[in-house]
Amino acid sequence: MLHERLEPIYDEVIHRNQGETEFHQAVREVLESVGPVLAKHPEYAENKIIERICEPERQITFRIPWEDDNGEVHINRGFRVEFNSALGPYKGGLRFHPSVYQGIVKFLGFEQVFKNALTGLPIGGGKGGADFDPKGRSDSEIMRFCQSFMTELHRHLGEYTDVPAGDIGVGGREVGYLFGQYKRITNRYESGVLTGKNLPFGGARVRTEATGYGCAFFVDEMLRARGTSFSGKRAVVSGSGNVAIYTMEKVHQLGGVVVACSDSSGYIHDPNGIDVELVRQLKEVERERISAYTERRPGAKYLEGQRVWEVPCEVAMPSATQNEINGRDAETLVANGCVAVGEGANMPTTPEGVRAFRSAGIAFGPGKAANAGGVATSALEMQQNASRDSWSFEFTEKRLQEIMRDVHARCHDTAEQYGMPGDYVAGANIAGFTRVADAMLELGLI
């Protein structure tokens, strides 16, 4: 429930951002946690910090004309929402997917503000993308699209201003094309202006693995806080893309057994443990559906059109997209003995699902905390670019683990401080919010 002083603020957010349902959901989820903060910090209300945090500093929408291999002209729409720079330059990914519109970008940017704050690193929050679908497009078509996209966006970027990264539909290939066009237009080899780069031109080791590894590290910390660990526990991971693959890899390294994963068509159940290398081969090399897994793994089953959350497990790790776990899914997981949930995707659990997990006492790691490993490693990439340095895989992974341990401690300790022990949703929202709010007070009314 919202604190009575926050109801009119939320109503105004809906009024000013009509039709942007994902953004409304993200704002409400934070506002539901920060009521107790206002009693402790009346200066936040006096300076209208909450109203200012809910309004992006800048929203950019632009046209992207490009030509396909057959000479046909296409027009897409691009977005960049520079949400909050109180802690540092705007930082957040670019998403290329047909579902992208202003509401999705604003929800992601809003979440990014608090996620970045939780890392303890000096980065603000932003997000961007386009309603372009890279699936089925040739490399040359994707290159032309990226070049047209950057031709407009470059004027808003800079290593001390706004530093995008990759997201859904934007990997090392796309970041390379984007950076190449930025360099061509600006005549500056400004490595730190984009992260998620491939290693030959300034990328960081572990960046590919970072979101999945970081989520597993966070869940491991939650389990340890309850006197247990991943050892011997069954885990279910939704999705079979980058985040899911490296979540599964690290869960196995930490002693867990991932028994199911999915794609948009259905899921596979392998009681002996998912063969992560086979999934990687199918999805990243052969671009196959996950159903092909059962052709090479005799003991596995494929269930078309079914929900992966029906598989009994002790740990659930949604790693695909927003709102993929609903209230019924959450109740099924609880009934089947799930004790911990770590959100590898952004806001993958509906409000009803979150309520079900919290009321059942599940150790629930919200995305803004559990999947902060990706942006944390992007910030490490920025550090390496700024110092013209390159770190080893082992050193970078150790830094990632330390950061995720600190993120967990901030959430855990803040929840206890506000009388809500074990509530990682409240802990993450309050810890992220207060860090940004304090910086905003220091900077004055801007």
Give the model confidence (pLDDT) of 127-186 as tens digits.
Answer: 999 999 999 999 999 999 999 999 999 999 999 999 999 998 999 999 999 999 999 999
Whether residue 317 lies inside any domain: the answer is: yes
Please provide the distance, in angstroms rounded to a whole number, between the alpha carbons at the two ends of the chain.
Answer: 30
Residues annotated in a binding site: 91, 112, 115, 166, 211, 242, 378
pLDDT recorded at residue 2:
81
Residues 351 and 218 grouped into a single domain: yes
Query: Where a domain ends, among 308, 337, 365?
Result: 365
Burial class of 313 by CB neighbour count within 10 A (0 to 12, 13 to 18, 19+): buried
Q: Is 87 helix (H, G, I), strand (E, B) or coil?
A: coil
Q: Which of 264-268, 319-323, 330-334, 428-432 has the lowest mean pLDDT?
A: 319-323
pLDDT recorded at residue 118:
97
Number of domains in the chain: 2
Whether residue 52 lies inside any domain: the answer is: no
Mean pLDDT calculated for residue range 69-73: 98
Residues annotated in a binding site for NAD(+): 211, 242
194: part of which helix (H) or strand (E)? none
Q: Is 3 helix (H, G, I), strand (E, B) or coil?
A: coil
User: What is the chain's Cα-based Rg?
Assistant: 21
Tell me: pLDDT of 254 over 80: yes
Residues 242 and 353 grouped into a single domain: yes
Q: How confident is the model at residue 294 (pLDDT cuts 50, 70, 90)?
A: very high
Residues 263 and 231 grouped into a single domain: yes
- Which of 40, 48, 106, 127 is catalytic? The answer is 127
Query: Where a domain ends, among 341, 365, 389?
Result: 365
Residues annotated in a binding site for substrate: 91, 112, 115, 166, 378
Residues 124 and 165 grouped into a single domain: yes
Residues 66 and 169 grouped into a single domain: yes
DSSP letter for each residue of 263-284: ETTEEEE-TT---HHHHHIIII
Residues 62 and 149 grouped into a single domain: yes
Q: How confident is the model at residue 287 (pLDDT cuts 50, 70, 90)?
A: confident
Query: Nearest-CA neighbor of 203 among 390, 375, 38?
Result: 390
Residues 212-245 pLDDT 10s: 999 999 999 999 999 999 999 999 999 999 999 9
Whether residue 412 lies inside any domain: the answer is: no
Rounded distance between C-alpha atoms, residue 55 and residue 64, angstroms: 25
Helical packing angle, 424-443 and 21-40, nearest 10°: 80
Whether 127 sits among the annotated catalytic residues: the reply is: yes
Q: What is the mean pLDDT of the chain?
A: 96
Tell me: pLDDT of 256 over 90: yes
Whether residue 291 lies inside any domain: the answer is: yes
Whether residue 8 lies inside any domain: the answer is: no
Whether residue 385 lies inside any domain: the answer is: no
Query: Where a domain ends, among 331, 365, 399?
Result: 365
Mean pLDDT calculated for residue range 329-341: 98
Mean pLDDT calculated for residue range 110-128: 97
Residues 375-390 pLDDT 10s: 999 999 999 999 999 9
Residues 78 and 166 grouped into a single domain: yes
340: part of which helix (H) or strand (E)? strand 340-342
Residues 222 and 180 grouped into a single domain: no
Residues 225 and 335 grouped into a single domain: yes
66: part of which helix (H) or strand (E)? strand 58-67
pLDDT recorded at residue 78:
98
Residues 154 and 100 grouped into a single domain: yes
Residues 126 and 229 grouped into a single domain: no
CATH of the domain at 316: 3.40.50.720
Residues 274 and 171 grouped into a single domain: no
More confident: 298 or 154: 154
Mean pLDDT calculated for residue range 358-374: 96
CATH of the domain at 114: 3.40.50.10860
Q: What is the DSSP letter of 67?
A: E
Whether residue 433 lies inside any domain: the answer is: no
The domain of 355 spans: 210-365
Whether residue 193 lies inside any domain: the answer is: no
Q: How confident is the model at residue 64 (pLDDT cuts 50, 70, 90)?
A: very high
Tell me: pLDDT of 346 over 90: no
Residues 2-27 pLDDT 10s: 888 899 999 999 999 999 999 999 99
